[in-house]
């Protein structure tokens, strides 16, 4: 069965610090997708990034960057020069393709709460 | 640009009452998912529709729960004889079944059972 582990329950940083959120996953599938979602206090899950299992290139989007390492089953997320608006709960999720229904189930980690202090 | 919408946003009910939630997906999305999220946890999958067909139900979905998606558009999730353990955030997501599939989430319905 698939599993996503986010060992960091809560992280507190001061504005402008860099912060890395860890994500480790388990799956038997060779084809899968990994995601990061942000959940601000309002509650809505906001999609940040999708990465497929075939593409191990790191990605950078503004202050956000993602490091996917298949060898260690990790998909870590770094925020550079953090801002107060980055304060939220961040979820890592794994999506597998189910052959019977075609469903790509999302299995979420338990989330990391990031607090950025001014 | 309309995203996924859910109604109501909050619901307080007494134990034993029935409640119904509605989800309107992004208009061209044919897949619709329901998740439940309890405090301090990530969302957990409940059920999934492709168009109007309910293709999968999680073991979390007891027989008190029923979901429908008539005509493959909006969906409803009904909980009968609510229990205090049903208190949670109920999230709806939708996606397009072509190419890369990303699920986009609505704001959720927060249920409190007293």
A2 or B79, greater pLDDT: B79
- The terminus-to-terminus CA distance of chain B in angstroms comes to 37
| Model confidence pLDDT, tens digit, residues B67-113 | 999 988 999 999 999 999 999 999 999 998 765 678 999 999 999 99
Find out whether the peptide bond into A14 is cis, omega within 30 degrees of 0: no
Q: pLDDT tens for residues A43-65?
A: 899 999 988 888 877 788 899 99
Assigned token pair, A19: 């912060």
For residue B16, give how far its alpha carbon lies from the nearest alpha carbon of chain A (Å).
26
Q: Sorting pLDDT into bands at 50, 70 and 90, what band is A82?
A: very high
Using CB atoms, pick whichever of B31, B101, B108 lies closest to residue A44: B108
CA distance A9 to chain B (A): 9
Nearest to B20 by CA among B90, B104, B95: B90
Say yes or no for a CB contact (<8 Å) between B104 and A47: yes
3-state class (DSSP) for residue B71:
helix
């Amino acid at each position: 069965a698939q599993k996503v582990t986010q060992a960091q329950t809560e992280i507190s940083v001061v504005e402008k610090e860099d912060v890395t959120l860890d994500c480790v996953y388990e799956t038997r599938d060779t084809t899968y997708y990994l995601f990061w979602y942000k959940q601000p206090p309002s509650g809505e899950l906001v999609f940040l990034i999708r990465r497929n299992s075939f593409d191990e290139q790191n990605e950078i989007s503004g202050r956000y960057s993602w490091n996917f390492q298949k060898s260690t089953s990790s998909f870590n997320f770094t925020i550079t020069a953090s801002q107060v608006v980055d304060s939220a709960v961040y979820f890592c999720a794994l999506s597998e393709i189910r052959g019977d229904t075609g469903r790509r189930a999302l299995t979420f980690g338990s989330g990391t709460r990031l607090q950025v202090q001014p | 640009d309309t995203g996924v919408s859910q109604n109501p946003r909050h619901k307080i009910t007494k134990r034993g009452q029935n409640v119904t939630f509605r989800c309107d997906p992004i208009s061209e999305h044919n897949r619709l998912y329901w998740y439940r999220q309890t405090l301090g946890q990530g969302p957990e999958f409940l059920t999934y529709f492709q168009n109007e067909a309910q293709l999968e139900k999680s073991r979390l979905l007891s027989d008190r729960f029923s979901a429908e998606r008539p005509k493959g558009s909006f969906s409803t999730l009904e909980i009968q004889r609510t229990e205090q353990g049903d208190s949670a955030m109920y999230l709806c997501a939708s996606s397009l079944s072509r190419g890369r599939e990303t699920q986009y989430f609505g704001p959720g319905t927060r249920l409190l059972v007293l």
